Amino acid sequence: MKKQLIFVLIAFVVILSVFTTAAAAEQGKTILEYKHDVTGDGKMDDIIVYGIPFKEDSPYYKKIWTEITTSDGKKLKIDYEGGGYEPKLDFADLNHDGVDDILYSSATGGSGGLYNYALHTAKGGEIKEIPLPTPLAIQGHFDQDFVAVIEVPGLGKPIILDLWDRRKDYISIGLYQKNGQLNEPTELMIDPIAFFEVVKIKGKAGYGLKGYRQISGAYHADQLGVVETDWYFENGEWQPVHIEWKPSGKSNTRKKR
């Protein structure tokens, strides 16, 4: 009887320890702390970013969220989808309602240098999500004679890139024949928006977002350039107000050979 009681007590302690450890893990680790007025009452709010590491001492957080304690003691919480590396918050009035919004970002850790993003407002002590800009419908493909064609809405004429200097690589991987004949129709690799940054928008009141999208050729390391777009929130939606193509050092506009 005593042995059975001892076993029951041991089992109880083990189970209690497991639940205690799990509960402690769910509380998360404090990653960042901020003081910023995000409710619009003119007083500083306490903002803490928490995360649960994938494993002990891992730089990757499998779960990330933000908790806000307002100046009047109200508790607010923002849960972010997925995990990431090096999460951070930026504060700016991006929807132009007189109160700074909360822009969350974290690195995905992939080879494309992509980031997770979320934008929220806590005006009046209520959390609401603000949709982020919808990426432009960019299209691109390889053409005959070692050429790439990129069409970016808002830029007017297509971008024609001379890829003659890359011909040996393209021939070796079977993309082109030696005479410049394209073996089969092939689209370019167009990434989603890699990351945003808060910027002052020229000719507009206040701030907006600059988005960066990489365009590559036959593989991701075969970089052709980046499309930079300035976005401004107006009438309840994001508008592209400035679009610019920036070729990589290896890309050239079409030229005679």
Which token pair is 22? 């799990």
* Averaged pLDDT of the chain: 89
Whether residue 105 contacts residue 196, with contact meaning beta carbons closer than 8 Å, is answered with yes
pLDDT interval class at 254 (50, 70, 90): low
Which pLDDT belongs to residue 250? Answer: 60
Q: What pLDDT is recorded for position 20?
A: 33
pLDDT in tens, 175-198: 999 999 999 999 999 999 999 999
Chain segment 50-79, per-residue pLDDT in tens: 999 998 889 999 999 999 999 999 999 999
22 has a pLDDT exceeding 70: no
Residue 67: name the closest of 80, 59, 76, 56 by CA.
Answer: 76
pLDDT at position 56 is: 85
pLDDT in tens, 49-58: 999 999 888 9
Beta bridge partners of 45: 36
* Per-residue exposure over 68-93, b if at least 16 CB sit within 10 Å of its own CB, e if not: bebeeeeebebebeebbeebebbbbb
Model confidence pTM above 0.75: yes
Residue 47: phi and psi, rounded to 5, are -125, 125
List pLDDT tens digits, range 82-116: 899 999 999 999 999 999 999 999 999 876 678 99
- Among 4-8, 41-45, 48-52, 195-199, where is mean pLDDT lowest? 4-8
Residue 257 has pLDDT above 70, yes or no: no
In this predicted model, which residue has the larger pLDDT, 196 or 253? Answer: 196
What span, in angstroms and rounded, lies between the C-alpha atoms of 87 and 115? 10
